[in-house]
Amino acid sequence: MTPLDLTFEKRLSNDGYRLIAGIDEVGRGALAGPIVAAAVILPLELPFHQSLKDSKCVGEKKRESVVRWLIKEIEIKYGLGFSSVEEIEKCNVHKASLLAMRRAVCCLDVEPDLLLIDGIWKLPGIEITSIPIAQGDAKVASIAAASLVAKVNRDLWMTKLGSLYRNYGWDKNKGYGTPSHFAAIKTNGFSPFHRKSFFRKREFFGQYEGYW
């Protein structure tokens, strides 16, 4: 995947937008743990970085390196938002994702004048001008940066949870549905951080019926 620059944001800045925040979330498809979202405002003079791209296209160590660079050297403005397993179970993963994104925006220490949101949905309860962008993490630098920040922070969270619940391998699988994770659930049952509703979905029973 080609690294991203701020061409998109600079074009919007010509229309008068100065504080442009990219928004993305991670963890929608995981079997355990929270959804984590980030809102990131990049400086328009941001230096080019070879690994500024969708977090799914960057290895774990490189993601951590890029996020350290963004936070420590560039001193980006960013906010994080979480949706808990209880919220995911109560209101469904889609609404929980939007909730985490809204919380990330609210955690910024400045108010942006434009939101670039990965996906096709605007955020409920936010009056800031918003542009949803399908597959935005592969197209827009600030959304890609948000995906990296969210991914690194969720991975850290899952690794810490994994030190408390050692049987599930969360330091490796980060709560996603790997065969070893399913096997661990079959052996040990659910933890308080598993999304039990996901296991009632037909596709999980069909794909992993041998585990139950």
| Binding-site annotation: residue ranges for a divalent metal cation | 24-25, 118
Residue with tokens 């949803």: 132
Q: Which residues are annotated as a binding site?
A: 24-25, 118
d(CA 54, CA 151): 10
At residue 23, the 3 state secondary structure works out as strand
Residues 6+ apart with CB under 8 A from 198: 31, 204
At residue 151, the 3 state secondary structure works out as helix
d(CA 195, CA 177): 11
Largest CA distance in the chain: 58
- Which whole-number Å values give the CA distances from 200 to 46, 90, 176, 204, in the listed order? 45, 14, 16, 7
Residue 169 near residue 6, CB atoms below 8 Å: no
Strand partners, 80: 38
Q: Which two tokens stand for residue 57?
A: 């296209």
